[in-house]
Amino acid sequence: MPADTSRSASGKSRLRQLLPLLAGFIGALLVLAAPLQRLDNWLYDAALSWHTLDKSADDPILIEVDNRSLAEMGSWPWPRELHARLLDQLQSARAVGLDIALAESTLASSKPDQALAAAMQRNGKVVSPVFPESNAKGLTETRPLPLFEAASNRLGHTDFERDTDGVVRRTYLRAGLGSPDHPGFARAVLDVAQGKPAAPAAHAFHGRDEPWVRADEVMVPFAGGNLPFERLSYIDALSGVSKDYFRNRIVLIGVTAAGLGDMHGTPVSDNAAGMPGVVINAYLLRGLQDGTLIHPLSLPAQALLTLLLIVLLDYSLAPRGQQRNALLIYTAAALLVGMGSLLLLELGHLWFAPISSMLLVLLCGFARFISRQASLQTLATTDGLTQLANRRHFDEVFIPAIERQRNTRQPLAFVLLDIDHFKLYNDQYGHYAGDVILKRVAHVLRESFSRKGVLPARLGGEEFGVLMPGTSMQDAVDAAEVFRQRLEDLDLPHDGSPLLKVTCSIGVAARIPQPDDTAQRIYEEADGALYIAKRSGRNVVSPASS
């Protein structure tokens, strides 16, 4: 194969080998830049909506400040003595999460606050909420009144992170102002239920510029279908059931009535109405209890895994990329990545966002498919031995070139050449040696006629042609002479030739195509000039007469 063709093929081969690595890096960048996060979120939400949770005897009880309780007990906020009564009703519970903000005192009298604090102390298992809040002075940490904080078993944060689409999918097991001192609310409630000692109290005072710090990211284990915990109206919990009803149960208390509590969009809620924060905490508590909390891969791990998946898949599938069903194979591989992500979510409780990997695997498949089509096109238009254009492709280009040069009133040159005494060469040296000579001639031809738009071709046997749009007769003859001299200078031995070397005879036809000019007519003119070159002793360039 000629050196330049070899270099071209080698370059294409290296490019094909680098494609998986390039695609892998693009996939990793997509993960880091997150332009496809909405699609990943859609897939994640769909997976959660298909998943259901069964109720169990150990499920938490959610006591709700709901519309029915408000209708019977009056507008919110209620007297704190009511909360005190409820906490006394929950003496036998394993833990009580009081997810109600108690950051302001009762102005009329301190007795309601003292009564609630006393009930919290008597219960001894109450967790109170802490959360970040912005005001004119900056970010602050909203905690219960000191009276209630002291009476609580411990504090837990109720901070939920919203994704870019405003939906809550994740939270953090630790967070706090300045440092992640507070456990998540659900984590704190479960620790109380399991009898774990509380961590040393976090410092209550922070500077204005301290950020809210989060740690230990988890995805909330939402599920479709019915809620996997028992719901009880506040008024029923206060007077409709006995104390034994709550024995050894974990209880969460919070506001679920529309317009009163903190409402958040979630993957399994009507996001126009949202889901109360206490319900999200109930999901978290259930996940903590049965070990089904979902852990997302960190961003660096996500990017690295995406890169590795794309590289490994494309390297393994690349040999199949030249098959007809390459697109189908790569599509199946992309779908397997998505299915693997969903299986990892369901069985391993790990979330790997797969869309970037799936997209780049598909793009690799398209690239392999396009490469295959280009290879087929090249095979169809290229002479297999010399790697020049073949006769079929030359004929396809010849006629449009005539029309184009006629319309633009520009000349068209056609160079026709024939290797001198080639049959004698084959007879003496063999057909393999003859093929080598054809390759050498093609190489010199390609070097001599390298201008853009010029098409050298093997027309059959030892006959070659060159189509030169926009070239006058004199320029075409000069170019043909350069080629003839270069071939002669190679001194390729040919004992059957009078010159004892491989040479060519060349005929040239060139002019501005006329209305009656056809490809056959121009070819015959060049062929006539070639005949004259051979009769003139060979190894000469002969122009066709005008």
Q: Give catalytic residue positions.
A: 462
Give the 3-state secondary structure of residue 59: coil
Q: How far apart are the first and last CA of the chain?
A: 38
246 CB-near residues (< 8 Å, 6+ apart): 61, 89, 90, 92, 93
Instruction: Please tell me what DSSP assigns to residue 490.
Output: T
Beta-bridge partner residues of 184: 157
Provide the residue type at 202 as one letter: A
Alpha-carbon distance values, 312 to 29, 307, 364 (Å): 17, 9, 12
User: How far apart are the C-alpha atoms of 154 and 179, rounded to whole Å?
Assistant: 17
User: How far apart are the C-alpha atoms of 470 and 92, rounded to whole Å?
Assistant: 99
User: How far apart are the C-alpha atoms of 286 and 264, rounded to whole Å?
Assistant: 19
**89-122 per-residue burial string, b: 16 or more CB within 10 A, e: under 16:** bbeebbbbbbbbbbeeebeeeeebbebbbebbee
User: How far apart are the C-alpha atoms of 465 and 462, rounded to whole Å?
Assistant: 10
Dihedral angle computed from the Cα positions of residues 488, 491, 495 and 500, in that order, rounded to the nearest 10 degrees = 50
Alpha-carbon distance values, 219 to 273, 281, 355 (Å): 21, 12, 18
Give the 3-state secondary structure of residue 467: strand
Backbone angles phi, psi at 264, to 5 degrees: -135, 140
User: How far apart are the C-alpha atoms of 158 and 429, rounded to whole Å?
Assistant: 90
User: How far apart are the C-alpha atoms of 470 and 453, rounded to whole Å?
Assistant: 9
CA atoms within 13 A on the CB side of 489: 7
Beta-bridge partner residues of 217: 172
Pull the structure tokens for residue 382: 């290229």
Q: Beta 263-264 vs 275-276: how paired, if at all?
A: antiparallel
Beta-bridge partner residues of 543: 508
Alpha-carbon distance values, 67 to 70, 233, 234, 261, 446 (Å): 5, 9, 10, 12, 87
432 CB-near residues (< 8 Å, 6+ apart): none
